[in-house]
Structure 1
């Protein structure tokens, strides 16, 4: 890839594919991912509390709802993430990192869907199996989040150009 092609790919990755992806410098994907991350983290906390005996029925039911809310949020976030992904040039390190990020997120969604299915069998009682799946899922989300940070903070995907950033530091 020539320097001109590389520069074009770099600049294209900073721009939204469409207004639906969020305005320049403000990607919606980064905002929406807080829904599944928060819901799934809360589900694990509810699981721990329910397994320790604190209102186990209510917290087990709450954990199931949180897992489902997280799955729905993850699917919505994936749509916006795919819009950003489509701007990345093929054959680049940034595209490979994004593929790993996508793969880990997909694995997390599968783990949480299975967790929801396991929990749905007896929603009013704590589920050790559902908890273990959720715990593994949260670890996978952590790895994926690290890769998402690489994409935004190291590779500058959907981050404003340095010239635009510099203006904020000039008076």
Structure 2
């Protein structure tokens, strides 16, 4: 278990402070925002700005997801193979790659969209992709909060609660 707490390289972030969880905020925020723009485009009189914004948020999310995936691969290498944590990490990775592929396809589909609200097909693909992202996020939470992947050990964590430790106050 201790092996999964330490980075395989400094590119993954230092001990107790992995980069992957920070990077995932970009695709999650971009894709949730794009879905909100998609929905809003169906209720306004001039939806083109929202549909264009949604498309570019999807593209930003794909780039962000690929960047987060690189850091996630480094974290995966720290997990011992053949363990429940490794199997859960593989599922987390596979679902996220499928979601990223779906969003890349969604971005491409929107390239020739006529003016107006987002079409039902791309809207449905975004909703399905967000559902997949939710499942992948749950699995990522399991990796961190249940299995302690890339989390500092309890002795290190306790330093944050020691009132006599001047360094951490």
Q: TM-score, normalised by structure 2?
A: 0.92
1:124 CA drift (Å):
4.0
Alpha carbons of 1:155 and 1:123: their partners in 2 closer, same or farther (altered >3 Å)?
farther
CA shift for structure 1 position 14: 0.5
1:1-171 equivalence runs, <5 A? 10-122=1-113, 124-125=115-116, 126-171=118-163
Which whole-Å deviations, capped at 9, do the CAs of 1:114-150 have from their partners, x for residues lacking one?
1111111216432221111111111100000000000
Does structure 2 conserve the Cα–Cα contact (< 8 Å) formed by 1:61 and 1:124?
no
Cα separation, 1, equivalents of 2:5 and 2:47? 46
Report the RMSD for the aligned CA atoms in angstroms.
1.1
With 109-118 and 40-49 compared, the bigger mean Cα shift is at 109-118
Post-superposition shift, 1:107? 1.2
Conserved 8 A contact 1:58-1:124 = no
- TM-score (normalised: structure 1): 0.91
Distance between the aligned counterparts of 1:52 and 1:115, measured in 2?
Answer: 21
